[in-house]
Structure 1
Amino acid sequence: MTDDLVGRREQLAAAMKQCGAWPADSPWLREAMAALPRDAFALDRLWRWDGHAYVPLDRATDPAGWADELYAGPDAAAVTQVTDGLPSSSLSAPAVVADMLDSLRLEPGHTVWDIGTGQGWSCALAAWRTGPGLVVSTEIDEELAALARQRLTAAGVDAGVLVGNGTDTAPPGGPFDRIHATYAVETVPYGWIEAARPGGRIVYPWGRLGHVALTVAADGRSASGWVQGLGQFMADRSGPLRAPTGYTTVRGTGGPDTERVVERDLLPLADNWDLRFAVRVAVPDAVVITGRDEDGVNAWIHDGNASWAALSARGDGNAVLFQGGPRRIGDELLTAWSQWEVNDRPTPYDYGVTVTPERQWVWLREPSLDLGS
């Protein structure tokens, strides 16, 4: 099994190189991931989606399947915990971990608050770069925190792991030079700004898609920065981004309130991630699901609460829009699509976020172009 894992590590490193996932500005990451391989932090049970449910893969009884799931590729996360049938913790995709740690701009000697320890892999990589005793990590799940401590100790990593809710409580040791969150929040807790040094950097997954790097202002009262890339992370367990109710439940059994023809081919909604990100900015609570049939791309949209829409392809480049609930979430999506076109089809890297004690807002290309909170 050891030889097999060595081969898989080498295959992953080669795949990362082939797809350009090793950050040019952070060559240390390749060394760190070689010294602290993914399998040293993975739980002995992983979970694979079989098309209907998450099924377990145990290292002891199916080592090849376990390794396949763990080393599925640069962009593949490995689910390590399932709660009520849904993923609640994972080892993040290697390419996304590398991208986020590159965005953090870590240097030796930096103090780091790692929020959401999980299995401890990101914490270990940060500690490899900064030095012994400079990284403290918080984890809300006591069992995960204990397992992470075991893995860090076994790997020879000197980093602290505390049990706590990083969304509302900072650990001792601040202010920190760097703050790295591994779970998604829609609104940055202002306590993160207060826990960082002026000029410090905060990298976090933003909502259901993308991650952001903020730089704390010289007066320590605000932070601002750009979207760094795409990526999907587990949501804050105590926040509003927890797994939403499914489309079928939101729609219910009743018919639509409205129905009309939309003169749009829905293909970009499935394939264009610049558009998907623009929709995510404009309608942050919208869950968008796409699928294809002989007539083209179809889409199902809901807000996880009471409003839904369906865009059904007609086979002629147009679609029929059905909507129900108290808001017209399909119209909101189409308005965001049109605005994206008016704005010359910006990419995720054209957006940024500013956080102050009073509010958070999103901007396009420059902070003065406020798109609202």
Structure 2
Amino acid sequence: MNDDGLAGYRVRLDAEMEERGQWPADSPWLREAVAALPRDRFAPDRLWRWDGWAYVPLDRAVDPDGWAGVLYGAVDSPAITQLTGGVPSSSLSAPGVVADMLDSLQLEPGHQVWDVGTGQGWTAALSAWRAGPGRVVSTEVDEDLAAFARGRLAAAGLDVEVRVADGSRAGLPGDGRVDRLQATYAVEAVPLSWVEAVRPGGRIVYPWGRLGYVALTVAEDGASARGWVHGLAQFMGDRHGPAQPGSGPAAHAAVRAGADPEAQRVLERDPAGLADWGLRFALRVAVPDVVLFTDDGPDGAVTLVHDGAHSWAEVGPDADGRPVLRQGGPRRIGDEVLTAWAQWEGLGRPDVYDYGITVTPESQWAWQGSPDGPRWPITQPAPARS
């Protein structure tokens, strides 16, 4: 499929972004950049689609419309570009999220940018369109992805340096500090090397663990940063960081391992409240290692909870339709969720934008309402390799 065949897909994406209000008003340059550098020019000829059982390939030469349909499926849909061991390991992020995160970056012409996690090069390309030639350096741990991105960036006529490096564990390539740092993969805690790489007053925008993305401003001391959560999204994690617990019934079943509940009780609250994304994010803050997934059970919706290790819980109806909590393992993980739920309600049911993060050389924490408000510790990253 050539440019003429893809034109309709590009127009539909632009219109959907407009209809849903996802072209940022404060960054009108983004719409121009996406039009000049459409995502298909950074997509490999093979994408992957989940068919309900496994990821199956979609080859551009074999099924051009299916390939384009996945690439331009929806403003909130990523396109899987790489599998490792049958699991997605790289993607072209959802267009709406890319636009919102670049808007959060507050990028201006002339800014020096460190793009952490090149992937296919699309985010680096959009940043270079705004910042200018030679202003973006991008690091990618996967040599094949780095080579692919170099080729696509060069074909687009963009002067972007792509280096093979682990951006979470290596410092900024070159000398000096940058004005902006954008990460395209999720970290639970911010590597201190990122803060050290950005000038005071500069911005760091990154996906936070399993859910959400954050925009930090580096303080005048050049060693700490603070900022607000800017939205909800799910990104692939740091390849060399701690593995993120899987979601879905299979991951829950693996943790439960066929064990019977060790404790159960009828709940006094409606478990349907667990579908609220404000609550889901609050649980992500308060019990960050806990995964929730809602599935259909024989008697109604069931929320599956686990920690990716040995503890699990289920919230769903019993035979009489009453909501019941069942749990097992060394932690009473269901009780932890209920405690965090009650705390969220006690705080006035804050939404995702009411939370922020502070990073210092000694510790990192999330907070609600203000930096002096309720706080929750964030586990520090491992020290950088020398």
The corresponding residue for 2:266 is 261
1:74 paired to 2:75: yes
Q: C-alpha distance in 1, partners of 2:347/2:245? A: 31
The corresponding residue for 1:274 is 278
1:286 paired to 2:284: no
Q: TM-score, structure 2 length as denominator?
A: 0.94
Q: C-alpha distance in 2, partners of 1:57/1:134? A: 35
* Amino acid in the other structure paired with 2:62: T
RMSD: 1.4
Q: C-alpha distance in 2, partners of 1:98/1:369? A: 30
Residues 21/53 of structure 1: CA separation in 2 closer, same or farther (3 Å cut): same
Out of 307, 319, 323, which is 1:319 matched to?
A: 323
Cα offset, 1:292, TM superposition: 3.4
Q: Where do 5+ consecutive residues of structure 2 fail to align?
A: 378-386
Taking only the aligned residue pairs, the percentage that are identical comes to 63
Residues 15/173 of structure 1: CA separation in 2 closer, same or farther (3 Å cut): farther
| Farther-moved stretch of structure 1 (307-316 vs 24-33) | 307-316
Q: Where do 5+ consecutive residues of structure 1 fail to align?
A: none
Q: C-alpha distance in 2, partners of 1:274/1:317? A: 26
Q: C-alpha distance in 2, partners of 1:264/1:317? A: 13
- 8 Å Cα contact 1:266-1:297 kept in structure 2: no
1:357 paired to 2:358: no
Q: C-alpha distance in 2, partners of 1:78/1:346? A: 31
1:229 paired to 2:231: yes
* Correspondence list, 1:1-373, <5 A: 1=1, 2-170=3-171, 171-244=173-246, 246-270=251-275, 272-293=276-297, 295-314=299-318, 318-373=322-377
Cα offset, 1:294, TM superposition: 6.6
Residues 242/292 of structure 1: CA separation in 2 closer, same or farther (3 Å cut): closer
- 8 Å Cα contact 2:97-2:233 kept in structure 1: yes
- 8 Å Cα contact 1:259-1:322 kept in structure 2: yes
- 8 Å Cα contact 1:110-1:130 kept in structure 2: yes
**SS of aligned partner of 1:281:** helix
**SS of aligned partner of 1:103:** helix
Q: C-alpha distance in 1, partners of 2:321/2:29? A: 49
Cα offset, 1:315, TM superposition: 7.7
**SS of aligned partner of 2:90:** strand
- 8 Å Cα contact 2:285-2:376 kept in structure 1: no
Q: C-alpha distance in 2, partners of 1:176/1:143? A: 26
- 8 Å Cα contact 1:203-1:213 kept in structure 2: yes
Q: C-alpha distance in 2, partners of 1:37/1:310? A: 43
**SS of aligned partner of 1:372:** strand
Cα offset, 1:244, TM superposition: 3.7
| Farther-moved stretch of structure 1 (15-24 vs 245-254) | 245-254
Give CA deviations for 1:154-203 in whole Å, capped at 9, x if unaligned. Answer: 11111010001000112214301000000000011111100110111000
Cα offset, 1:57, TM superposition: 0.4
Q: C-alpha distance in 1, partners of 2:244/2:345? A: 31
Aligned residue-pair number: 372
Cα offset, 1:260, TM superposition: 1.1
Cα offset, 1:269, TM superposition: 1.3
